[in-house]
Amino acid sequence: MCPGGGGGCGCDGIGHLRSGLPWSYASDVERRRPVCFDKYRCDKSRFDKYQRKRSMALPSLSTVDLKLLGVFLAVVKAGGFAPAQAALNVAASTISIQIGTLEKRLGVVLCRRGRGGFALTEDGRRVHEAAQALFAQIEDFQARIGGLGGGMTGRLNLAVMENLITHPSFSLSALIARFRDGAPGVRVSIDTASPARLEEMVLGGAAHLAIGYFPRRLAQFTYAPACEVVMELCAGAGHPLFDVAEPTPDMVRAAEHAHRGYVSTEQTPDAHRGFVFTAEAQSVEALAILVLSGRYLAFLPTHFTRRPGYAGRIRPILPERYAYRSSIEIVRNRAAPMTAPAARFMELVAACQ
């Protein structure tokens, strides 16, 4: 009943407070507050407006909303509407309509599109992060429920550094085969990328795990060893040191060097810090191109340079002095839920040590 008159004000006995909420919705503190019923008349429309505003600010998610969020994630991953056409198998105009519908549902502008290119707004970045977390939780739920019947389900998204396929003792193909034999219900997806891109893929939720060389340590990741690679200083045919039987350290220091752009000087061994770096590359293959130009020395992994195609074209320079071992690691996002497929794959990698 209305505390101000038992429904005489036209509120049908519900009663309202200053906040516009019904008496039955009020907390004990609100109930004890003095209410001026002459100034704050009971009006059912106030509560109706409050409910409508509340529903607009926090829309409930439907299956359609999840689909639209999935489209949004695909667009961001592709870098725009046109690039996302192939992944979504729909026209760019349809994608634009879908994103527009999602923006209306959420009440925010997600991205800028036009001649200036595709770019997320600040609200768009927040929605993107939240959507990634949401889909990760859904995926984890599906994997957990699917495992109740005794069989593992879900997805395993892997991101791997380039040129790891030729490593002599770390066979990623064999690992995937063992994983697949034990979890035939899991869908496996794999992609290759540069180390910097690998980190982005894991943090962004595009990959559950990444395997590669990570010279910097980020608090957001957990790291586990995968394998080691031997790095040798190399010269290509045509370089002044290529045909020198016994080059000296002074000759090496006087030469021009190329380095991996994602490795800073502080992250290189002490013996390499006196080198003059005049070129850089973001991948091993790109670095090999610079070496084969005959103008630069650079460090390359032995499992790459030992391939038949490089015989007689690349040679190591003073390996006893400059060669070193580099750790390849498997990383995951510390804040993301550990899915059953990801946990199983990490177990298989650990068993290879």
Q: What CATH number does the domain containing 305 carry?
A: 3.40.190.290
219 and 261 in a single domain? The answer is no
**For 326-349, what is the mean pLDDT?**
92
Indicate the pLDDT class of residue 139, thresholds 50, 70 and 90. confident
- Residue 64 pLDDT exceeds 60: yes
Q: Would you say residue 294 has pLDDT above 90?
A: yes
Q: Residue 9 belongs to what domain range? A: 1-58
In this structure, is residue 144 part of a structural domain? no
334 and 199 assigned to the same domain: yes
Say if residue 259's pLDDT is above 70: yes
Please give the pLDDT value at position 21: 47
Boundary of a domain, candidates 86, 109, 136: 136
Looking at per-residue confidence, does 266 or 90 come out higher? Answer: 90
The predicted pLDDT at position 249 comes to: 94
Flag whether pLDDT at 269 surpasses 90.
no
CATH of the domain at 68: 1.10.10.10
- CA atoms within a 13 Å half-sphere pointing along the CA-CB vector of 333: 21
Q: Determine the Cα–Cα distance for residues 201 and 266; give it in Å rounded to an integer.
A: 25
Q: What is the pLDDT of residues 307-323, one digit of tens each?
A: 888 889 999 999 999 99
Q: Are residues 167 and 314 in the same domain?
A: no
pLDDT confidence of residue 51: 47
Tell me: the pLDDT tens digits for 160-208? 998 888 898 899 999 999 999 999 989 999 999 888 789 988 988 889 9
pLDDT value at residue 45: 54
Residues 211 and 339 in one domain: yes
Together in a domain, 197 and 332: yes
207 and 121 in one domain? no
Question: Which pLDDT does position 134 carry in this prediction?
Answer: 87
Claim to verify: residue 218 and residue 338 sit in the same structural domain: yes
Are 235 and 296 in a shared domain? yes
- Is the domain of 317 the same as that of 234? yes
Whether residues 30 and 111 share a domain: the answer is no
* Assigned domain for 209 exists: yes
Instruction: Return mean pLDDT, the chain.
Output: 83
Judge whether 86 lies within some domain.
yes
- CATH code (residue 190): 3.40.190.10
pLDDT computed for residue 24 by the predictor: 44
Residues 43 and 70 in one domain: no
Question: Are 69 and 207 contained in the same domain?
Answer: no
Q: Is residue 145 part of a domain?
A: no
Q: How many residues does the chain have?
A: 353
* Average pLDDT value for residue range 2-9: 47
Q: Is residue 141 part of a domain?
A: no
Which one has a higher pLDDT value, 329 or 272? 329
Number of domains in the chain: 4
248 within a domain of the structure (yes/no): yes
Per-residue pLDDT for 69 more than 80?
yes
Asked, for residue 161, whether it belongs to a domain, the answer is yes
pLDDT digits over 240-257, tens only?
999 999 999 999 999 999
Residue 142 domain-assigned?
no
Q: Which of 84, 103, 136 is the last residue of a domain?
A: 136
